């Protein structure tokens, strides 16, 4: 590893089975020119993602990394998040890395894991629109917007909001010009062909259908977080 890379701020992106690929690939694309990044897991074995054809390969184990400047927890479909809400070993690693991090961040339902680990206590945060009630059930003041920046906590909404988050952090740490250049180079200029990327845009009928499809897992998440977090 070059000395130049060694001097860059270290980002630890936490991986786990079922992780939503775009949750971490979006910000990672924005981070790549600016930060030194670790993809972290308990082992170096490949982990599954939300896309059957795509596996994620960790670059370091938790035990190999003592400190990160920026902790990033991506999300996953609720059934995978519910499993991790009960995983004492996983939550302990979040607490350990978060204790020394300059910024503690998440994309999508990753904020539920931060909250369960006690890392969002007293902070405003967001999540995927369908998971905000689980976040609120943990006593977190929820804000429904793409990126919520509260002191050294930065949380992003669902999936594609990770790109907005990535550019937000680049601007914060490297400056506006660096963020603009990054945005230009990845040609991030969204102009979706349809307007259904939020409950407001999708309308009540489609939103109700989407909410019903995840209702059982959301209800299970609320039940889980009503119990003390494992230590």
Question: In whole angstroms, what is the distance from residue 171 CA to residue 178 CA?
Answer: 7
Q: Within a 10 A sphere around the Cβ of 47, how many other Cβ atoms?
A: 17
Q: Within 13 A of 184's CA, how many CA atoms are on the CB side?
A: 6
Q: For residue 3, what pLDDT is reported?
A: 40
Would you call 210 helix, strand, or coil by DSSP?
Answer: helix
What end-to-end distance do the CA atoms of the chain give, in Å? Answer: 35
| Closest by Cα among 41, 52, 51 to 16 | 41
Do residues 34 and 16 make contact, with C-beta atoms less than 8 angstroms apart?
A: no
Residues 6+ apart with CB under 8 A from 166: 26, 27, 28, 29, 30, 31
Residue 2 is predicted with a pLDDT of 42
Could you report the per-residue pLDDT of 209-227, keeping only the tens digit for each? Answer: 999 999 999 999 999 999 9
- Domain annotation covers residue 197: yes
What pLDDT is recorded for position 83? 98
Please report the pLDDT score of residue 7 as a whole number. 86
Identify whether 84 is part of a domain.
Answer: yes
Q: For residue 209, give both structure tokens.
A: 């259908």
pLDDT of amino acid 4: 62
Distance CA 35, CA 5 (A): 8
pTM of the model: 0.96
Q: Is residue 28 part of a domain?
A: yes
In a domain, 141, yes or no: yes
The answer to whether 37 touches 5, Cβ cutoff 8 Å, is: no
* Residue 231, in any domain of the structure: no
* Residue 47 domain-assigned (yes or no): yes
CATH number at residue 59: 3.40.50.880
Residuewise pLDDT in 10s, the chain (231 residues): 444 677 899 999 999 999 999 999 999 999 999 999 999 999 999 999 999 999 999 999 999 999 999 999 999 999 999 999 999 999 999 999 999 999 999 999 999 999 999 999 999 999 999 999 999 999 999 999 999 999 999 999 999 999 999 999 999 999 999 999 999 999 999 999 999 999 999 999 999 999 999 999 999 999 999 999 998
Query: Among residues 82, 86, 68, 88, which one has the least CA distance to residue 14?
Result: 68
Q: Which residues are catalytic?
A: 108
As for how many domains the chain has, the answer is 1
Structural domain of 182 = 3-225
Q: What is the 3-state secondary structure (H, E, C) of 101-150?
A: CCEEEEECCHHHHHHHCCCCCCCEECCCHHHHHHHHHCCCEECCCCEEEE
Residue 230 within a domain: no
């Amino acid at each position: 590893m070059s000395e130049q890379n060694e001097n860059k701020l270290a980002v630890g992106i936490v991986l786990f089975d079922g992780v939503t690929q775009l949750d971490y690939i979006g910000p990672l694309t924005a981070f790549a020119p600016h930060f030194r990044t670790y993809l972290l897991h308990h082992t170096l074995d490949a982990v599954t993602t939300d896309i059957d054809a795509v596996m994620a390969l960790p670059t370091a184990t938790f035990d190999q990394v003592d400190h990160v400047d920026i902790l990033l927890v991506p999300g996953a479909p609720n059934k995978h998040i519910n499993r991790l809400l009960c995983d004492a070993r996983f939550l302990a690693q979040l607490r350990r890395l978060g204790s020394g991090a300059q910024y503690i961040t998440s994309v999508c339902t990753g904020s539920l894991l931060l909250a369960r680990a006690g890392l969002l206590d007293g902070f405003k945060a967001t999540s995927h629109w369908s998971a905000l009630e689980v976040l609120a059930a943990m006593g977190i003041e929820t804000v429904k917007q793409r990126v919520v920046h509260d002191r050294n906590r930065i949380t992003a909404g669902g999936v594609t909001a990770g790109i907005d988050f990535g550019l937000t952090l680049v601007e914060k740490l490297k400056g506006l010009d660096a963020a603009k250049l990054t945005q230009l180079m990845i040609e991030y200029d969204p102009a979706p062909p349809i307007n259904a990327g939020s409950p407001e845009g999708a309308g009540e009928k489609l939103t109700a259908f989407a909410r019903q499809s995840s209702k059982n897992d959301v209800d299970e998440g609320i039940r889980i977080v009503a119990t003390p977090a494992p230590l």
